[in-house]
Chain A
Amino acid sequence: MAKQSKRVLRVLAMVSSFGLAAALTTGVVMEQYQAPLDAFFDTLSYRVVSEKTDEADWIWESNFKSAKEAYEGWRDFAIKESHETFALLKNENSALPISKTAKVTLLGLRSYAPVYGNSGGSIADKKTVENGNRIYEAFAKRGFQLNPSMLKTYENYCNTLTWGGKGFGATPPEYKELAGTDEIYELSQQELAQYNAEYAKDFAEYNDAAIVVVGRPGGESKNYVPGGQDTTTGNVFGLSTEEKEIIAMAKENFDKVIVLVNSVCQMELGEIANDPAIDSILWIGYPGAHGFYGVADVLNGTVAPSAYLGDIYAANTAVNPAMMNFGAETPWANVDSFAKAENVNSYLVQAEGIYTGYRYYETRYADVVAGVAGAKTAKAGTYVNADGTMATVDGEWNYANEVTYPFGYGLSYTTFEQTLDNVAIKGDKKTAEVTVTVKNTGKVAGKSAIQLYAQTPYTEYDKQNNVEKAAIQLMDYEKTVTLEAGKSQTITMNVDLANLASYDYTNAKTYIVEAGDYYFAIGANSHDALNNILAAQGKTTANGMTANGDSSKTYKWTWNDFDAKTFSVAETGVTITNHLTEGEFAMDLNAFKADTGVTVEYLTRSNWNGSYPKKYDGITASGTLEKMLRNDFYELKNEDTSEYTWGESDSELTLNDMKLAEFDDPRWDEVIAKVTVEEFLAFAGNAFHKIAPLESVGYMGNNADDGPGGSDTHYLQEGSYKGTPYADAEEYTGYGSRVAPSPQNLAYSFNKELAYENGQIILGESTLVLGLPIMIGPGANLHRHAYNGRGGEYYSEDPILSGYTCSAVVQGAQSKGCLVNIKHIGFNDQEINRSGIAVFMTEQKAREMELRNLQQAFVANGKPASFVADETKADTYQIGALGVMSSYNRHGAVAASANKGTMQDILRDEWGFKGYNVTDFTGVSLKAAPKESLLYGTTAFCGFGSPSFDYWKKGAEGIEQTLSKDKALCAALKQDIHYVLYALANSAAINGTNNSTHIEQLWSTWRIGYTAAIGVTGLMTLVFTVAAVIPSKKEKEAK
């Protein structure tokens, strides 16, 4: 019996000891993932507190003093922003606006279940949508009377689906079954009848208009591929049979048919654009959680539409040079020879050069008009028939067949007349002043955007030296205030002529402007502006133009010299020369000819047909290329590094003392010297949504969050004003800042001031209200084609529209202390194989497209004309972006963060970037080539820690004998620490802090849970073990 009870005690001791081990492990893990657990459980497990507070400690203040103010402030801004982000593409017979109390029938599955926003990042806030803001609720609240039978039909269908998709950071407000990218979701008439046999019974009553909504979902990691669909072109962006059936039903039953385009990826709209029975087409993109109020306001004429397409709308999205090299179809032939950890998969040869988007279509059109040989002739598969299908025989390229809506296209409910009043080119060639007057010549109030384009001469030198030139390129833009009928506004733009320069990577190896005729032009869109230039050159419809242009809207000037000097030196004083053309860090695959045996032939306008890109597949990586792909190409040296001192404790300076200090402040050396290599690496290796502390300099760590659309994982229950929690925070639990339209919508507004305000309200107030000094946004990679499902989180295909929008958002965010992390640098053109894909292109393309785009934000370019004229705005646009995130894709062969050419030579040296540079979610792994990345200016690795390299480990076997013994790494680490501390000292990371600031841990429910478990199991283990071991009284007596 005694033995039996001993056995029981032993068993209990074993069970409780296992429980203790499990509770301890759980505790360790939970503390490591504190931030995501807080987000998941809606808890707070720490807060930053200061013993003594002073008004002077608060450099930035929120506009919102309560959760109610924050909720309403975000809502009101989201609706205001949305008003300017919907592009009217067609409006026959003034079909729009409709009456505020119109009785309308909503048709199309997306009229009930629209795409509110991206999924998988920058997700529209689900709780906001669910609580009275769905499309039909917003429309009804604005006064529309909606056909109940149709609503019931779609409701019956959607009740069979699962509400709430799969996203990153939050749950998207979408039906899970409607979120894919490999099919088009629509119900046929037969299917409608299955869900409601009387779906059509109220057509006659609700017949002021049929509003048909067609849409496509999108978001981070969403991939689209061409072909394979039941559409005219075979592409997913064409209208499906079911969608066409619904539209036909609308035409049959309603006099007025309005189509809303609920997609950020360009859809193929030729069939409805050319259909006389379709009265209106309104592009709405992704309106956001409150955005359907804005859609209703535009539909009913409360506001006139004033957005313009920031991407060209081609008749066939799959037939263009960029699509010849796309997707996952080009794995390295020897991919299996690489270890999985090396993250090698495929490559992308961007053989189209600068000719993506409207640059391709407009330039080729210009050459057709000019009669350039090879411009009109087109091989099968490279041009489009009149019906939008891909041509299967050789023939002729025809702009009218290729393009449905040009870049910059957008209509209004009123009309405007723009006159190019004056152009003054400065003598140093660097800037020009351009004055334009806009007059509202219609009957209702509205806003108009001035789009200023330029043309540079395409010369014999260019042809001989592989310099490509687009026939038209956007140089700048401004938007008027709301102009009443008959009113005018005159705007003077200071145009940066550096954006006119072309990059000559073959001969001059820098930016050049050549002798020849240059043109500025304004126009209703890019094609209209080009037609104006062609008119100035004496061309007419007789030459094949689509319409005669207006030469009065152009300005011509001539430069007489070949100039390779003016734009060859950066503002920082650094000489601009090739960094991506030759050598290990090249992005031009031709630099690796010896390793691949392949020569890439890039598309040239001197031979459109002959040089149309081919697909580059089956390439084997060997030699230098193979070495760089393995992401481990820097050999650590063992040197005398005694000149570098670490962990100095003499100084009393802390980060707090360096608030708003300039980068060159001499005190930085003292502060930086306090940090040890180990401490910095522990900080750098843990940069997901909770930034690790640097205690030696008094930095307590901070929360960070994605994304471009607002905070992904933090909500108003955490809201505070100057460190004091909102009294009404609990009433707004679960509501947050992700309520505005998609970033792409914002860009389509062509409104820099609006973008600035977006930066302040969406990113900046997320920082101040939710305690998130670091916001991972804005997103600003260029659209290379329609098939990047993540396109809505970015802005445009054009580097100036994207660059100036991004710059404005950054400036607005930073005005509130937000430390932005622009994502990404760079070239994230597709989500397919995004982690590890090696992206190759000419240095001209890299510099003139993506890098020119990103540069605008880093050098604080694109200041709105209204800010220039306003003394109260004198302090804006003084400091460029202070943070960036590198991309998953490689730059050339090398992990983005480890490419010296882009990260060091261009980003840090040419652009003078002095801020925080974090990898995407790589952790400290071979994906990010950690030691190489540190060497070239990466300051942090996004991930959860757990580095697996000896050289990252603490102690005598690790850091002390490796990184600390390499001079170049030591110098780089000192710089990286400087960059980090400077960025933090100029951000809300030091808002409200002083020398008494410290972290106070709180007893969140999960912390209480594991602590209690440790306590109980620990006690049980002790008791049962002792009881099992100590002989009982009976046993003692028996002995």
Chain B
Amino acid sequence: MKETKVTAKKGYVIALLVALVAALVGAGIYAYTSLTGYLAGRVVDWMPVLFTAVAAVLLLVLIIAGQNMKDNAVGICTFVINVLLAVAICLFAMARIELAADIYFIPVNYPQGEATAFYISVVGLVCYLAAIISNVVASAKGTDK
């Protein structure tokens, strides 16, 4: 049975909400692992958080006003959100690759704190991935005016 417009609209908003929450959680995990535990005290690259913040603002705009925006504008917004989150996840991953390298390539060397930071970071990366997928799903559903 074809999706009704109401259901489709709900689905679109839910997907955006999931993307928003997942992105914010991902950014939160990035900040948490950067400031505490094994990585505490190092200089932090805040670009992933910045990109996520901009993406979050755009997601909010779409959630609140997406239904009233032109399709092209919505399309550009979701594409930009996609790019911002893609860059954020890539920067996050690159900032944590050292942990993975220590754990994988020098398995006898790393302290437990490093492994903890790594595994928590993996959760954060998964959140970002969920945000990206959810944003793509939202784009696929569209505003359907």
Contact = CB atoms under 8 A, between A and B. Distances in A.
Contacts of B97: 29, 32-33
A25 B108 contact: no
Contact of A341 (B41, B98, B135): B41
Interface string B90-108: 1001100110011001111
B83 A340 contact: no
A339 B40 CA distance: 7
A1025 B83 CA distance: 12
B11 interface: no
B78 A14 contact: yes
A787 to B, nearest CB: 17
Contacts of B102: 921
Interface in B66-97: 71, 75, 78-79, 82-83, 86-87, 89-90, 93-94, 97
Contact of B108 (A18, A168, A340, A926): A168
B98 A6 contact: no
Given A6-B75, A221-B109, A339-B40, A11 B132 contact: no
A173 interface: no
A422 interface: no
Nearest to A10: B75
Given A14-B135, A21-B87, A921 B41 contact: no
Interface string A3-17: 100111011011101
A29 B94 contact: yes
B79 A923 contact: no
Looking at A14, A921, A950, the one whose CB has the most chain B CB atoms below 10 A away is A14
A59 interface: no
A923 B98 contact: yes
Interface residues on B, range: 35 or more
Interface in B16-43: 37-43
A985 interface: no
Contact of A168 (B82, B98, B109): B109
Contacts of B65: none
Contact of B140 (A11, A120, A926): A11
Interface string B101-145: 110011111010100000000000000000010011001101000
B79 A14 contact: yes
A14 B94 contact: no
Contacts of A342: 41
A1028 interface: yes
A4 to B, nearest CB: 8
Contacts of A24: 90
Given A339-B40, A948-B43, A950-B43, A168 B107 contact: yes
Given A3-B71, A21-B90, A921-B106, A10 B40 contact: no
Nearest to B97: A29
A17 B142 CA distance: 19
Interface string A32-65: 1100100000000000000000000000000000
Contact of B94 (A25, A121, A341, A921): A25
A946 B132 CA distance: 27
Nearest to A949: B43
A514 interface: no
Contacts of B111: 835
B139 A341 contact: no
Contacts of A873: none
Main SS class of interface, A: helix
Given A168-B106, A340-B41, A944 B101 contact: yes
A108 to B, nearest CB: 27
A921 B98 CA distance: 12
Nearest to A221: B108
A93 to B, nearest CB: 44
Contacts of A21: 83, 86-87, 89-90
A22 B106 contact: no
A570 interface: no
Contacts of A339: 40-41
A120 B108 CA distance: 6
A921 B109 contact: yes
Given A14-B78, A340-B37, A948 B42 contact: yes
B90 A15 contact: no
A340 B40 contact: yes
B43 to A, nearest CB: 4
A167 B107 contact: yes
A835 B110 CA distance: 10
B81 to A, nearest CB: 9
A28 interface: yes
Nearest to A3: B71
Contacts of A121: 108
Given A3-B142, A14-B135, A14-B136, A340 B38 contact: yes
Given A168-B107, A342-B41, A950-B43, A14 B98 contact: no
A1028 B109 contact: no
B29 to A, nearest CB: 18
Contacts of A1025: 79
Given A21-B86, A25-B93, A33-B101, A7 B140 contact: yes
A10 B78 contact: yes
Contacts of B75: 6-7, 10, 1028
A220 interface: yes
A627 interface: no
B113 A340 contact: yes
A487 interface: no
Nearest to B86: A21
B87 A36 contact: no
A13 B107 contact: no
A120 B111 CA distance: 15
Contacts of A741: none
A219 interface: yes
A3 B83 CA distance: 22
B41 A14 contact: no
Nearest to A342: B41
Contact of A10 (B43, B101, B139): B139
A6 B132 CA distance: 19
A341 B79 contact: no
The 7 closest A-B pairs by CB, nearest first: A341-B41, A221-B108, A120-B108, A21-B86, A25-B90, A948-B42, A14-B82
Interface of B: 37-43, 71, 75, 78-79, 82-83, 86-87, 89-90, 93-94, 97-98, 101-102, 105-109, 111, 113, 132, 135-136, 139-140, 142
Interface of A: 3, 6-8, 10-11, 13-15, 17-18, 21-22, 24-25, 28-29, 32-33, 36, 120-121, 166-169, 219-221, 339-342, 835, 921, 923, 925-926, 944, 946, 948-950, 1025, 1028
Given A7-B140, A25-B94, 18 more contacts: A7-B142, A8-B140, A10-B79, A11-B139, A14-B79, A14-B135, A21-B87, A21-B89, A33-B105, A168-B105, A168-B106, A168-B108, A221-B109, A341-B40, A921-B106, A921-B109, A944-B98, A949-B43
5 contacts: A10-B79, A18-B86, A25-B90, A121-B108, A341-B39
